[in-house]
Amino acid sequence: MENRAMHFKARAGQKLADVLLQENLGKAKSRFVGMRAKAIVEVDDFEATREAAKLLRNRSLDDLDLWLEQFEQQATRRGATVLWARDSAEICKLVIDIAQRHGVKKITKSKSMLSEEAGLNLALEAAGIQPVETDLGEYILQINDNEPPSHIIAPVFHKSKEEISALFARTHRRPALTDIQALTREAREVLRPHFLSADMGISGGNFLVAETGSVALVTNEGNGRMVTTLPKVHVVVTGIEKVIPTLEDLSTLMRLLPRSATGQSISNYFSLLTGVKKPEESDGPEHLYFILVDNGRADLVGGEFAEMLRCIRCGACMNHCPVYQTVGGHAYGWVYPGPMGSILTPLFTGLENAIDLPQAATLCNQCGVVCPVKIPLPDLLRKLREKQMERRLRPLTERLALLAWGWMARHPRLYALGTKIGVRYLQWLAHDGERNDRIRILGMATEWTRGRDFPAPEGKTFREMYAARKGNP
Amino acid sequence: MRVGLFVTCLVDMMRPRIGFAALKLLEAAGCEVVVPAGQTCCGQPAYNSGDRESARQLAIKLLDEFESCEYVVAPSGSCAGMIRTHYVDLAGEGEALARRMAALSSRTYELTDFLVNVAKFDKVPGDYQGSITYHDSCSGLRELGVKTQPRALLAQIPGVALHEMKGAEECCGFGGAFSVKFGELSAAIAEKKCEAIQATGGDAIVGGDLGCLLNIEGKLRRMGDEKTKVLHVAEILAGDTKGTR
Ligand code: SF4
């Protein structure tokens, strides 16, 4: 997918001005946050479970090559083919090759973020193969001119029921429905023939289990089952970091994932798919492929940002992020939004291509405390900021201001004088006759006063007053 | 107890009365308070902006100035949090320095946390009358666990009625340099906080971090709210709210 992260600030501005979006975001936020809070109290010791999950994800990543090898052996033993993709182009090429080998005309898809990274739908269309998204959210986006998702688990987080109703009426040429159930029924009717006629299904994978060579799928709509069992070919596209050693590990993570993501004790559907259809079995694919993708992940192993690889893509960090809640996912400009996106986008697409993202956070750590695998997201954002400084990627004025402040603060006499003058200057700015307690336009930082006033300083600095009080100015 | 008061750069420039309120409270709690004259900034702006070297030098400067104190106390969860949770990281390899930093960190407290958990202070002099709501600033809350401490102290003032707002633990949108890098966005987040404050119907919003309070006050005034008072918890506890608007 094309990276538009460089325009974060401009896009955020547009999103703030979008009244309808603001309304939709408000509703969606309170739902996710509230439901998670209720669901986590069901787990006896949620914090201990988070710690266990962190450790097991670390264990998986410390010996990533080993587990991947074991996964490959086990999956192959059960009739699957394991393929490796280095980047987006290789994902597209491998999928198209498989489709052509099996004479595929139509592909049904359940949600896969890797497919978004690769821009797979466009590549398939260009190769004359029809992709049909079957996750309700993804389907809505596909018929809306391939709009990108704004959330990793709720792709249409930004849309209202009314917008979807109008889109359905327009696309399906049917009377507009208002009720969510009726809309879902309509989507089901439209999708059913596709399920039955597709020759290949593509899914993502929430986890890969090394000891059995299985893929675990967590879904809520049942479309995942249709996509992975009806067509004769099933292709799983997922990241190499998704592998975990054992089924026991899977059960630990499953106590956290649905609760953190949607506030459900367990998702409506949970599939553990192992191998191709056996002769005595009634359903399942005859051909099963795994495309395991690097796309920047291998470089992170063992490095400063390795902790990010623990991510299980639950979306809790964005649900709890004040910035995400205020501008939504599209402002971030690439596949992954919110705190995890502000880290992954620069790491996967280049620090210089996402200048704003590491900065677009208050470091409030509302994300870090909800992350089920305890990724210290604010620390990683700060590390990215350090890299930006090292590589001089921030504007010169900003770097100079920072250096000047740092230098002043190391020279107390100059600092005392500088702040004394600064405070007088601020008071002068606040002076407007009747009310002198606020600044309407802040000279050196007009950004502040675009949306709020800047309270005036009291008068003198503490330092001055304290010295006067002690009688030794 | 010999306590070093770290005034913080924002209080020094913008609201000295918070510094004096903190001083009064610490003295009332029986501490011998020293205010090292050369103190400036804890280095957090540099640290959070990616200028690690400046932050490191400021950390060493603060260490030298406060090392002789039994405790370091700041009327800010953000600055105390910086010292307590990040200074060791800044010390880097040099073992002796890391050890000194760790020792300083473990003796550093946010004001209300110190008053409740170290000084066991139970003679709050404030006499405020009115209904208030409390904003839990992010660093104090999530780095230092400051939540019940200010409330316990405020509960000692008979005239104070605390009405919790919805989402008291949610960020106000300040975020240090974030507030001037993404002004509009920062103010939009502040607006939600202000609406939650106003919905309590209280006459004052109280908090423990001046950065957040300036953000909230600026937004309230821009929204046309001239009546909600914005107070630092130290002011209300010390009974020094006269000079406030
Ligand atoms: S970073 Fe943590 S909270 Fe965010 S999506 Fe990944 S696992 Fe979930």
Q: Which atom of ligand 1 lies closest to the CA of A152?
A: 5
Residue A72 lies in a domain: no
Region A56-81: mean pLDDT is 98
pLDDT at B243: 57
Region A286-297: mean pLDDT is 97
Q: Compute, in angstroms, the gap from residue A263 CA to the centroid of ligand 1.
A: 14
More confident residue, A423 or A57: A57
| A375 and A285 fall within a common domain | no
ipTM of the complex: 0.95
Checking if the pLDDT of A311 tops 70, the result is yes
| A133 and A274 fall within a common domain | yes
Helices (H), A262-395: 316-319, 322-327, 338-349, 377-390
| A386 and A401 fall within a common domain | no
| A116 and A189 fall within a common domain | yes
Residue A64 lies in a domain: no
What pLDDT digit, counting tens, does each position of A436-453 carry? 788 888 877 788 999 999
**Helical (H) or strand (E) element with A132:** strand A130-133
Q: Which atom of ligand 1 lies closest to the CA of A308?
A: 1
Residue A472: which pLDDT band, with cuts at 50, 70 and 90?
Answer: low
Angle, alpha carbons A29-A31-A35 (nearest 5°):
125
CATH value of B130-238 in 3.40.50, 1.10.3210, 2.40.160, 3.30.70 = 3.40.50
Q: How far apart are CA B27 and CA B37, in angstroms?
A: 18
| A180 and A278 fall within a common domain | yes
Q: Which residues is A430 bridged to in the sheet? A: none
Which of A298, A330, A353 is at the close of a domain?
A: A298
Q: How far apart are CA B170 and CA B174, in angstroms?
A: 11
- Does residue B227 contact residue B194 with C-beta atoms inside 8 Å? no
Q: Compute, in angstroms, the gap from residue A313 CA to the centroid of ligand 1.
A: 5
Q: Compute, in angstroms, the gap from residue A372 CA to the centroid of ligand 1.
A: 7
Region A414-442: mean pLDDT is 86
User: What percentage of chain A exceeds 70 in pLDDT?
Assistant: 99
Q: Which of B46, B142, B221 is the closest to A365 by Cβ?
A: B142
Residue A307 lies in a domain: no
Which of A263, A298, A333 is at the close of a domain?
A: A298
| A157 and A292 fall within a common domain | yes
Q: Which of A384, A386, A447 is the closest to B183 by Cβ?
A: A447
Judged by CB atoms closer than 8 Å, whether chains meet at B13 and A422 is answered as yes
| A404 and A366 fall within a common domain | no
| A196 and A338 fall within a common domain | no
- Inter-CA distances, B165 with A234, B137, B197, B237, Å: 51, 13, 6, 20
Judged by CB atoms closer than 8 Å, whether chains meet at A448 and B142 is answered as no
pLDDT at B245: 45
Determine if ligand 1 sits within 6 Å of the CB of residue A148: no
User: What percentage of chain A exceeds 90 in pLDDT?
Assistant: 84
CA A105 to chain centre: 31
- Does residue A367 contact residue A337 with C-beta atoms inside 8 Å? no
Checking if the pLDDT of A428 tops 90, the result is no
What pLDDT digit, counting tens, does each position of A111-151 carry? 999 999 999 999 999 999 999 999 999 999 999 999 999 99
- Helical pair A136-143 and A161-172, crossing angle rounded to 10 deg: 60
Residue A260 lies in a domain: yes
Residue A398: which pLDDT band, with cuts at 50, 70 and 90?
Answer: confident
Which of A265, A298, A331 is at the close of a domain?
A: A298
pLDDT at B240: 86
| A409 and A390 fall within a common domain | no
Helices (H), A173-233: 180-197, 223-229
| A426 and A290 fall within a common domain | no
Determine if ligand 1 sits within 6 Å of the CB of residue A381: no
User: What percentage of chain B exceeds 90 in pLDDT?
Assistant: 95
Residues of A in contact with B230 (CB under 8 A): 455
Question: Residue B118 phi/psi, 5° resolution?
Answer: -105, -55
Residue B92: which pLDDT band, with cuts at 50, 70 and 90?
Answer: confident
What pLDDT digit, counting tens, does each position of B19-56 carry? 999 999 999 999 999 999 999 999 999 999 999 999 99
Determine if ligand 1 sits within 6 Å of the CB of residue A317: yes
Shortest CA gap B68–chain A (Å): 19
Checking if the pLDDT of A473 tops 50, the result is no
Count of structural domains, chain A: 3
Tell me the residue range of the domain where A412 lies.
397-471
Q: Read off the pTM.
A: 0.95
What pLDDT digit, counting tens, does each position of B103-147 carry? 999 999 999 999 999 999 999 999 999 999 999 999 999 999 999
Shortest CA gap A361–chain B (Å): 7
Judged by CB atoms closer than 8 Å, whether chains meet at A447 and B182 is answered as yes
